[in-house]
Amino acid sequence: MSPIRNARIVLGVTGGIAAYKSVDLASKLVQAGATVHVILTDAGAEFVGAASFEAITQQPVHRSVFEPWRSDWHGHVSLGQLADVVVVAPATANTIAKLAHGLADDMLGTTVLATTCPLLIAPAMEHQMFHHPATQENLERLAARGVRLIGPESGRLASGEMGDGRMLEPVKIMGTIRQVLGEAGPLRGRRIVVTAAGTRERIDPIRDVGNRSSGQMGYAVVQSLVDRGAEVTLITGPASILAPVGAAVVPVESAVEMEAAVRAAVDGADALIMTAAVSDYRPDAQFSHKLKKADTGERLTIEFVTNPDIVAGIEGDALVKIGFAAETHDLLANARKKLAAKSLDMIVANDAESTIGSPVSQATFLYPDREPEMLERMPKSEVADLLADRVVELLAKRSGES
């Protein structure tokens, strides 16, 4: 389950054109199950209205530090105490300066001083303002205090110029919130390597041999592990998915490249999870130029050689190894063979044709020492959550044995 579910989030919205993105951010947070309390500064209210946030969050928007107190509500004090995380998005140069120096002349400033929870700041301003020494000094002061600075990105700014200063997109801010909320999870301090997506074996400069793997399962596993506090290295073949915030991403193409990346990454790791659809074969030779039909004739013959079996070749008694088996027939029998042959602690078996490229999966978890778990057909994100829970159990067991 995402750590955002049931989280209490205070969202500070200040006076920048990027404030319109904060409406989307609030909506995404609520849809993810969070309770969102919005603090809207006077300048922020010049760009977006309180009514939009109140309709989305079903909570009153906080505007003034002088709002009435009740026996059960003490304004900025209550806001600061209830928050699991405070996010300021957008954060203008003015707001950053005020927060850096501890000013408390509005609801946002007093709330930040009244809380001990993580503070995330998403700067948004013009390029010159962001790079001004005063702004950089203020950002350094905040970072030294433990504040998380997220963004900004480069791109087209409100002035029409190109440069640094675009507020990070809501989906990326969501990812950072998710990472921060999950940091104290059961996998805190654990290093886990995950492979994802399919590999591509080059024939010539523009052609390759691959498979239909989308990477959805692997990326979902990475997100579930980050949600539980793990330090994750994602070694991924080509995929058109946004990598989860918090993961170190190593892009590769071929099986040989993936093997080298895995061997480098598993040094000191606690677990290896091979969700990638690794090509079993690769062309014996690659052509340095584009093949032409006029040169090859009506038939083209290419010899293939076997690729390395990555997970079987990784050794280490302390390393938990989990594999995936995508089969078109004799699913459980073939998965059990792989479980034993590759010396795995667990294997996830699923039907290749109905799973590859699909957002859902009907998986079976198999182990060397207990009965298999046959799951219902469900979204891959839910399969990933269950798998991450099993990783917690396997690592705890391994630690107990050592």
pTM of the predicted model as reported, rounded to 2 decimal places = 0.92
CATH 3.40.50.620 matches 8-181 = no
Tokens of 333: 């029998």
Q: Where are the domains of the chain?
A: 8-181, 186-394
User: What pLDDT, in 10s, does the model give residues 33-71?
Assistant: 999 999 999 999 999 999 999 999 999 999 999 999 998
pLDDT surpasses 90 at 293 = no
Q: Is the pLDDT of residue 103 over 70?
A: yes
What's the length of the chain?
402
On the question of pLDDT at 215 being above 70, the answer is: yes
Two domains, one topology: 8-181 and 186-394: yes
Write the single-letter amino acid at 27: S
Q: Which of 6, 94, 138, 211 is catalytic?
A: 211
Task: Place 102 in a pLDDT band, splitting at 50, 70 and 90.
Answer: very high
CATH number of 186-394: 3.40.50.10300
Query: Is residue 401 very low, low, confident or very high in pLDDT (cuts 50, 70, 90)?
Result: low
- Report the pLDDT value the prediction gives residue 297, as an integer from 0 to 100: 81
Read off the tokens for 192: 């886990």
| Residue 293 three-state SS | helix
Contact 200, 26 (CB under 8 A): no
Q: Report the distance separating Cα 228 and Cα 3, nearest Å.
A: 8
**Tokens for 350?**
């699923």
Does an H or E element contain 36, and which?
strand 35-40
Confidence class for position 292, pLDDT limits 50, 70, 90: confident
Phi, psi dihedrals of residue 279, rounded to the nearest 5° = -60, 135
pLDDT at 398: 85
**DSSP reduced 3-state for 174:** helix
How deeply is 375 buried, as exposed, middle or buried, from its count of CB atoms within 10 A (0-12, 13-18, 19+)?
A: middle
pLDDT band at 317 (very low <50, low <70, confident <90, very high): confident
User: Taking a C-beta distance cutoff of 8 angstroms, is the pair 86, 14 a contact?
Assistant: no
* Whole-number Å distance between alpha carbons of 166 and 173: 13
In the structure, what pLDDT confidence band is assigned to residue 399 with cuts at 50, 70 and 90?
A: confident
Is 350 noted as a catalytic residue in this protein? no
Q: Is the pLDDT of residue 402 over 60?
A: no
